[in-house]
Amino acid sequence: MRQLAACGWKLIFTLIVLAGIGGPVMQAAVQKAIFGTMPDGEKIDIYTLQDGPYKAQVITYGARLVSLEVPDRDGKVADIVLGYSSLGPYLQDKKTYFGAVVGRYANRIAAGTFVLDGKRYQLPQNENGNTLHGGTLGFDQRVWTAHQVPGGVELKLVSKNGDQGFPGTLTTRVRYTLKQNVLSLDYTATTDADTVLNLTNHSYFNLAGEGNGTILGDILTIPAHTYTPVNKSLIPTGELAPVAGTPFDFLKPAAVGKRINEPNEQLEIAKGYDENFVLPQQSQKGVLQEAARVYEPRSGRVMVVKTTQPGVQFYSGNFLDGTIHGKHGHVYPKHAGLCLETQHFPDSPNHPNFPTTELEPGQTFHQTTDWVFSTEK
């Protein structure tokens, strides 16, 4: 009996030791390499995060997600984000924002102007008289500093006072971490003066694999009862309109292409879907909630987007037109990928009824977005 008891304790001790050894192994492996060189000679690094069959690659130019490999229902792995194989096309492409962290203010600000603390600020007007994704030299075109963290990489950017017209020196950190089937983005920011900000990631997803057809057959669910309609310049009117009875009702799963060509002013303005959806429980700061679910029937891949942000911009790749040659020479036609940009609302500084995007000294902006992957038969 004593020998049996001793063997039992040895077994327990061995299991504890193995558990201790196995813990760190469960973190994603992270590797660093050179992705390319800027015109001024500055090196752009690429960080590869891998955990089992899941692999993500992030570069320091624009803090971009440039590759995301995910298995299908048969275990076959494919890269599901649109982009390029080298740095040069990213430097030349000023329109798509493939995979980038965009800011200082993601989405649009009407007429490139807002009032804060009684002072009016003017920003570059880089789209139809409005400011889009931070202006002519947004965060997507900056070189971020980076360092490895457990299971991932953290990138940092300091945007000085007056950068693109915004007040305050803003220090932004974005952390990508991979744990099995979940890729997490954690955003933090601080400022030395009152400012506004809105940060998101602008990845285009095609769950069938980038360059493999369109996303019109994807089955989409968005748990939003209202959305923010826009005018002809894609600026919110300020209304929170119900999705019921419109092509924007994704409370029940529906194919992206099912209603995309219906006669609807909002769809006609954007040439497809490009709308901010108001997520439930937006008052519960810091609580991860489901923002969207996408199921791709051919591959069986499922992506669930969870976020602490109050909104999600669903964009159906309307302005891709077949002129872009992406990875491996793949041509990206209209609707070759979809974006689900977790965010605060567009033009919030000019709409007091929208959740505030103001940040003051002593405060820390903190938002999290998770992309969770699985398969269905």
The residues carrying an active-site annotation are 202, 341
Q: How far apart are CA 47 and CA 148, in angstroms?
A: 8
DSSP codes of every residue in 119-188: EEEE----BTTBEETTSTT-GGGSBPEEEEETTEEEEEEEE-TTGGG--S-EEEEEEEEEETTEEEEEEE
Vertex 372 angle, CA 171 and 215, to 5°: 100
Q: How far apart are CA 174 and CA 151, in angstroms?
A: 14
Query: How many angstroms separate the first and last alpha carbons of the chain?
Result: 50
DSSP codes of every residue in 239-307: --EE-TTSTT--SS-EETTSSTTSS-HHHHHHTS-EEEEE-TTTTSTT--EEEEEEE-TTT-EEEEEEE
Left if phi > 0, otherwise alpha if psi is -120 to 50, otherwise beta: which for 348? Answer: alpha
SS3 14: helix
DSSP letter (8 states) at residue 356 = P
β-pair partners for 159: 170
Q: Which two tokens stand for residue 335?
A: 């609707």
Cα dihedral across residues 164, 89, 325, 72: positive or negative: negative
Q: How far apart are CA 2 and CA 11, in angstroms?
A: 14
